[in-house]
Structure 1
Amino acid sequence: MIQRLQSVWLLLAAAAAFCSLRFSFYSGNMIAENQTKAFASLTAQSNLLLLILTAGVGITSLIAIFLYKNRKLQMRLVLVALLVSIINLVLFFLETKKFVPNEGKFDLTAIFAIFIPILLFFAIRGIRRDEKLVKSLDRLR
């Protein structure tokens, strides 16, 4: 049953993760090595760790969609993806400290990175709801 609501949440979380690879989270002036200011945009591709974590969250979300028969494994994968996405969001905010204060701004497309944990939380809720439904049906047999 791939047409469950948590599949939609997982697909949206994967799409948001892959969009945050391309679209900027923060933009502004950054101090270069020779003490000159240069305009830069912070994306997930700007830092290797951000790139790996963001791509991992997107791929894990896509894989979890097709694990609908094994809800326990699906729940574990989505929980790991949720934790990694929260760490990823913290790393995004820490990377903004490298910009010159008061000369940068959060971009509108930062909403992609912010929505990933929210969408994964909704997916966990849907998986848990399905698990309760299956357990209640097993009791009726």
Structure 2
Amino acid sequence: MIQRIQSVWLLLAAIFAAITFSVPFYVGTPLSADIAPQLTAKSNMLLIVLTVLTGLTAFASIFLFENRKLQLKVAVAGLVLTLALLTDYILQLKYFTAGAFALSCVLHFGILGLYILAIRGIRKDQKLIKSLDRLR
């Protein structure tokens, strides 16, 4: 399980998703006093749900190493969830008048990159198994 490189990528994606609960994506001046000056994964319910689903999808995908087709589907679903999460973060920026992206927003894009690397690794494994089956 851990011998495959995509397991490492998926584990890192799950860890990055957990870290995003404590680090900001954007820091600025909110439009109203009800909004916190930092945009984190805990800012609203949709961000919480998408972040948890992104992390759980990455973590669950690690243990699907025996069924590569299902692992690939779950990893692609995680990639789509990550894109939805990033889209929601960008949409939340309209509630700020001024500010800047925090350096820790790189973690969110890192999750996206890690999912892509994991999907490439899973596909490479599938290709290898197909070529070995042809040799038999």
Equivalent residue in structure 2 for 1:135, among 124, 130, 134: 130
Write the distance in 2 (CA, Å) between the matches of 1:5 and 1:33: 46
Equivalent residue in structure 2 for 1:90, among 87, 90, 96: 87
Amino acid at match of 1:110: C
Q: How does 1:1-141 map to 2 (within 5 A)?
A: 1-32=1-32, 40-100=37-97, 103-141=98-136
Amino acid at match of 1:127: I
After superposition, the C-alpha distances for 1:44-84 in whole angstroms (9 at most, x for unaligned) are 11010011011101011001001100000000000000001
Write the distance in 1 (CA, Å) between the matches of 2:131 and 2:106: 38
How far off is 1:2 after superposition? 2.9
- Runs of 5+ unmatched residues, structure 2: none
Determine what percentage of the aligned residue pairs are the same residue. Answer: 46
Q: Confirm or deny: 8 A CA contact 2:2 2:8 kept in the other structure.
A: no
Q: Confirm or deny: 8 A CA contact 1:2 1:66 kept in the other structure.
A: no
Which one has a larger percent strand, Structure 1 or Structure 2?
1
Root-mean-square deviation (Å): 1.4
Q: 1:65 to 1:39 in 2, by over 3 A?
A: closer
After superposition, the C-alpha distances for 1:11-65 in whole angstroms (9 at most, x for unaligned) are 111111111122100011102169xxx7610001101001101110101100100
Q: How many residues align?
A: 136
Q: Confirm or deny: 8 A CA contact 1:13 1:119 kept in the other structure.
A: yes
Write the distance in 2 (CA, Å) between the matches of 1:43 and 1:109: 10
User: Normalising by structure 2, what TM-score?
Assistant: 0.95
Write the distance in 2 (CA, Å) between the matches of 1:94 and 1:39: 16
Q: Secondary structure at the match of 1:9?
A: helix
